[in-house]
A and B are shown apart, each in its own frame.
Chain A
Amino acid sequence: MKNFKTKLAGVAAAVSLSVGASVTFAADTIKVGVLHSLSGTMAISETTLKDTMLMLVDEQNKKGGLLGKQLEAVVVDPASNWPLFAEKARELVEKEKVSAVFGCWTSVSRKSVLPVFEELNSILFYPVQYEGEESSKNVFYTGAAPNTQAIPAVDYLAEQGVERWVLAGTDYVYPRTTNKILEAYLKAKGVAEADIMINYTPFGHSDWQSIVSDVKKFGSTGKKTAVVSTINGDANVPFYKELGNQGVSAEDIPVVAFSVGEEELAGLDTGPLVGHLAAWNYFMSVESDENDAFIESWHAFIKDEKRVTNDPMEATYIGFNMWVKAVEAAGTTDPEAVQDAIVGISVPNLTGGLSTMMPNHHITKPVLIGEIQDDGQFEVVSSTNGLVQGDAWSDFLPGSKDVISDWRKPLACGNYNVKTGKCSGQNFE
């Protein structure tokens, strides 16, 4: 029944679109927007995703394009400047008339473009792990939510006998929210207040001497201690260097990081880091046919055998393929039709399984814990038994534990309180 409805909606949309098609879509390519910073602070991470998108579009075109048309990637540079993200997003949707946008990295850039996509009713695929507590009709989150990254990582450490926790992060929204969730989660598991130490540092912090020394002291009480790190991007390099210099090894105090992947390690001598951990939904070292093929085509595209692949690249890959499949199912690139068609679509992920778009616009993924090796790769030491579904609203925060998100009709609400039965719109605080 539901299928029939969506099909009907798709057909209706297609008809209405074909009427106006000659006016709106004069060109015979389908445009996709790529909204990643190519200059400024975030260029370091985002340039790779731009290249990934170009590669995916290229491959799709070699396979014959989409709906009989060629795809065309429209690349803009929001230059790590958050307000500029909103402007460029508007430019992509209004002026370039792109069918979907793939982009953003930091949460603040996503928050900045969110109103634009909602106003213009377009589609954004967001490929990076984030703090959750958000759900939008127009955004598809293909990265991890806290429950598909942070919580399984903490569970793994607890299994390894960790009793004392340092939650260290960069001072902005993602670490703050994640740590709030983790703190609530740990306390619910019976960890005492005195066994949790929380520490925030500014962006790009480079002098870690006192913090590492504090962590060392905190960890010398005889109880097994671990650091859960939401330290962002390149502040990690001096952090790990200081850990090495002060002689903190992974057997004594392991650090599990949520923002350190293969790309970040590429700029580091990983010798002293062996054994520290990271939690992701994908590692380059995972053995699967899809992954081998992906790495091969990435190296061919970028013409550099040394380049690594990482989790946000996989998320981009999944998001793009989901969009392609949804467009094929809907028979049109109309955002409204694609939004309906994409829920329930499954595509292969790179770890050898299938990822599915859920009604809350998050996807299902396996969670992997990896240990850093001396070649800059991760060795998977633990993985969840099955797939974990991304949760938009954390079950461990008092404000959001009763809230669910389901964009299927008739509910079609990103913020539905199951206790009060009310849908309070998207701007939930």
Chain B
Amino acid sequence: MTICKRLASALLLVFMSLCGSTSYGEGNQTLFDEGIRLIETGKLKKVADGVDLLINSKHDRSAFILESMLESKLYRHKKQKQLVMLVEKNDKGLLIADLDSLESTRQIGKRKAKRIPLNNKLRGKIKGYLASQNLNADQVSVRKAAIQKLLSALDDETLALIKARALYESNPDVQLLIDTAIALDALQSENETDRLKAIPTLSESLEPAVRNQLTQTATNDTSKAVQLAAQSALEKIEDKIAFYGFVEKIFFGLSLGSVLVLAAIGLAITFGVMGCINMAHGELIMIGAYTTYVIQLMMPNSIGASLFIAVPAAFVVSGLVGIAIERGVIQFLKGRPLETLLATFGISLVLQQAVRSIFSPLNRSVETPDWMAGSIEINPIFSLTLNRLYIILFCLAVFAVLFLVLKRTVLGLQVRAVSQNRNMARAMGVRSEWVDALTFGLGSGIAGVAGVALSQLTNVGPNLGQSYIIDSFMVVVFGGVGNLWGTLVAGMSLGVANKMLEPVSGAVLAKIFVLVFIILFIQKKPRGLFPQKGRAAEG
């Protein structure tokens, strides 16, 4: 029975597409209605046929229906057995509207309607169709995306559309893409000179579709001249790709490096300046990340702004926890590094379990604000991801602020004084205990700020801190204890080195190589890249 129906609809489809051009006005409504009827069933296979019918019908409502399907707004009312449009999901269930009258909405229960299912093939098909519809869109970016989408599957029909657009396209970028598309088509032509003429245009393009076509031409073309031209064009493209590949690696390295610097810079203060080994540093980062989570819970409607509030909040929360640790434990263990290490390790376990008890052992989801998602596309093969870009900038900002605090403020002066010679500083009237607590608080607060940044990159869970503690110590030791510049340079260079190695050796080995390198380096230069000089270094 069902086979019969499917066969019938398939036949209908073939028949309609055959005579579609002649009886246009009649056919499109019938096809459209039949398509809607198939989609109404809610069964994936029938929906697929229905989508085909909708596309072939060329009905002016097809694009609207398909687009709402793509945005998963198209639902099927289970009782009424008809398509409805989702307006919003709320606590009571679903707010829906009929397809014909979108203004009159009504409320139904959550399980009363079911979304029309889609799979990747259908999504691809719909996006392709919408792209051809979008060729004449007002926004430049939409037009660009539309042509890029069409490049990989050019046929006579889409090419005709593109050529039509070429006549009144004003944007030079889009014009370039149109030229590429036309040249790509010319590469398939029977005429050798046409093919040869197309190649110079193509050699300027970095689109993957162009490269694939040229690769085929370079080996399969019947004419030797065309083959050679294609080869040289390919070489030109490959050179560009290699160059951008290198730039991309540097960018990846810097972004990894800035994560390392952010995680380590708090430690550079507590470990580097105070000389106190704080194994709970990672957990202070974790507390910062959880602060972000809590802030987002408190202001669910303005996720975009939440990060700006989370940064100072995380600084305060982690800073206070840090001061509590210093006052409660570390001050009694001064001058006993081993005991400090064990005690702070204990604290780290306590903090982890506390988070498990308060927030559950499951990872919490911290949302990424819209302004941090996506990427800036420089060209088709090279784009900068926005979240990484912001984190590099954020890292530099944190570094600059910290640097100014240490060099330009009274607190900074006192911190440096105490770290260089505690007794002398005390003799000069500096309250060393108070400075210790504040320094530790500052370092911890910075760790909290790092947590805000990390919450955008990785999982916010009880184990967040553990994965960064080793890296942090590594960076501080490599950079030279007690030197902020050292931390910055060490973090960035380790990041870049790691990313340069990764494609060659794989992620696992790259990490090992970096560790081995640091061990060897510390053997040669035990005081790191930028050793402290003068009397302070001897202490």
A positions within 8 Å CB-CB of B: 38-39, 41, 43-44, 47, 160, 171, 199-202, 204-207, 209-211, 213-214, 217, 220-222, 234, 237-238, 241-242, 244-247, 250-251, 254, 263, 266-269, 272, 274-275, 277, 371, 373-374, 379, 381
CB distance from B181 to the nearest CB of A (A): 16
- Complex contacts, A199 vs chain B, CB 8 Å: 506-507
Q: What chain A residues lie within 8 Å of B209 (beta carbons)?
A: 222
Chain B positions within 8 Å of A245 at CB level: 373-375, 385-388
Q: Inter-chain contact count A-B, CB under 8 Å?
A: 132
Q: Contact: B120 with A251, CB < 8 Å?
A: yes
Supply 17 A–B pairs (Cβ within 8 Å), ascending by A.
A38-B361, A200-B507, A204-B463, A206-B467, A209-B255, A211-B502, A213-B252, A220-B208, A220-B212, A251-B120, A251-B123, A267-B363, A267-B459, A274-B72, A275-B118, A275-B120, A379-B117
A residues in contact with B59, CB < 8 Å = none
CB-defined interface of B381-405 with A at 8 Å, one 1/0 digit per residue?
1010111100000000000000000
User: Which of B154-162, B308-316, B364-372, B418-426 is the contact stretch?
Assistant: B364-372
Among candidates A221, A267, A275, A373, residue contacting B365 with C-beta atoms closer than 8 Å: A267
Verify A269–B368 contact, CB threshold 8 A.
yes
For the complex, what is the distance from the CA of A99 to the CA of B503, rounded to whole Å? Answer: 51
- Look across to chain B and name the residue whose beta carbon is closest to the beta carbon of A275: B120
B33 contacts chain A at the CB level, 8 A cutoff: no
Which listed residue, A171, A244, A246, touches B383 by the CB 8 Å rule?
A246
A94–chain B nearest beta-carbon distance, Å: 28
A413 to B248, CA, bound (A): 55
Q: Which among A221, A234, A251 has the highest number of chain B CB atoms within 10 Å?
A: A251
- What is the CA–CA distance of A233 and B457 in the complex, to the nearest angstrom? 16
Q: List B contacts of A244 (CB < 8 A).
A: 373
| C-alpha spacing A14/B351, complex, angstroms | 51
Whether B416 is near chain A, meaning CB under 8 Å from some CB there, is no
For A374, list chain B residues within 8 Å (CB).
72
Q: Are B115 and A373 closer than 8 Å at their CB atoms?
A: yes
Residues of chain A within 8 A (CB-CB) of B459 are: 206, 234, 237-238, 267
- Supposing A209-B388, A251-B124 touch, asked if A39 and B508 sit within 8 A by C-beta, the answer is no
How far is the CB of B381 from the nearest CB of chain A, in Å?
Answer: 8
Residue in contact with B152 in the complex, picked from A222, A242, A269, CB distance below 8 Å: A222
Q: Is the CB of B375 within 8 A of A202?
A: no
Partner of B508, one of A200, A268, A371: A200
Contacts of B358 in A (CB 8 A): none
The CA-CA distance from A373 to B259 in the complex, in Å, is 31
Decide yes or no whether B458 CB sits under 8 A from chain A. Answer: yes
Given contacts A234-B461, A238-B457, contact A211 B507 (CB under 8 A): yes
Contact of A39 with B467 at beta-carbon distance under 8 Å, contacts A234-B461, A241-B368, A381-B119 already known: no
Contact of B120 among A214, A220, A221, A371 (CB under 8 A): A371
Pick from B72, B363, B375, B383 the residue with the most CB of A within 10 Å: B363
Give Cα distance in the complex from A213 to B383, angstroms. Answer: 10
The 10 closest A-B pairs by CB, nearest first: A222-B212, A220-B208, A251-B124, A206-B458, A43-B361, A267-B363, A245-B385, A209-B252, A201-B507, A267-B365
Is the CB–CB distance between A221 and B212 below 8 Å? yes
Closest to A271 in B: B373
Partner of B506, one of A200, A251, A277: A200
Size bracket, chain B contacts? 35 or more
Known A206-B459, A221-B208; 15 more pairs at CB < 8 Å: A39-B361, A41-B463, A43-B462, A44-B361, A44-B363, A201-B507, A205-B507, A213-B252, A238-B459, A245-B375, A246-B375, A263-B362, A267-B365, A371-B119, A371-B120
Interface pair A266/B467, CB less than 8 Å apart:
no
Within 8 Å CB of B383, what residues of A? 246-247
Find out whether the CB atom of A47 lies under 8 angstroms from the CB atom of B121: no
Interface mask (B494-519 → A, CB under 8 Å = 1, otherwise 0): 00000100110011100100000000
A-facing mask of B251-285, CB < 8 A → 1, else 0?
Answer: 01001100100000000000000000000000000
CB within 8 Å for A209 and B212 given contacts A214-B503, A275-B123: no
User: Contact partner of B123 among A44, A47, A241, A250, CB < 8 A?
Assistant: A250
Q: Nearest CB to that of B363 among chain A residues?
A: A267
Q: Is the CB–CB distance between A246 and B385 below 8 Å?
A: yes
Does chain A have a CB within 8 A of B356? yes
With contact pairs A209-B385, A251-B123 given, residues A171 and B363 touching in the complex (Cβ less than 8 Å): no
Tell me which residues across on chain A come within 8 A of B381, comparing CB atoms.
217, 220
Complex CA gap A355/B483 in Å reads: 64
Flag whether B353 is at the interface (Cβ < 8 A).
yes
* With contact pairs A200-B508, A210-B503, A222-B208 given, residues A39 and B375 touching in the complex (Cβ less than 8 Å): no
In the complex the two chains form, what is the Cα distance from A222 to B154 in whole Å? 13
Asked whether, in the complex, the Cβ of A373 is within 8 Å of the Cβ of B375, the reply is no
Decide if A210 touches B249 in the complex (CB within 8 Å). yes
Contact partners of A213 in chain B: CB under 8 A = 248, 252
Complex Cα gap A242–B372 (Å): 12
Bitwise interface map of B from 142 to 154 toward A, beta carbon under 8 Å scored 1, else 0:
0000000000100
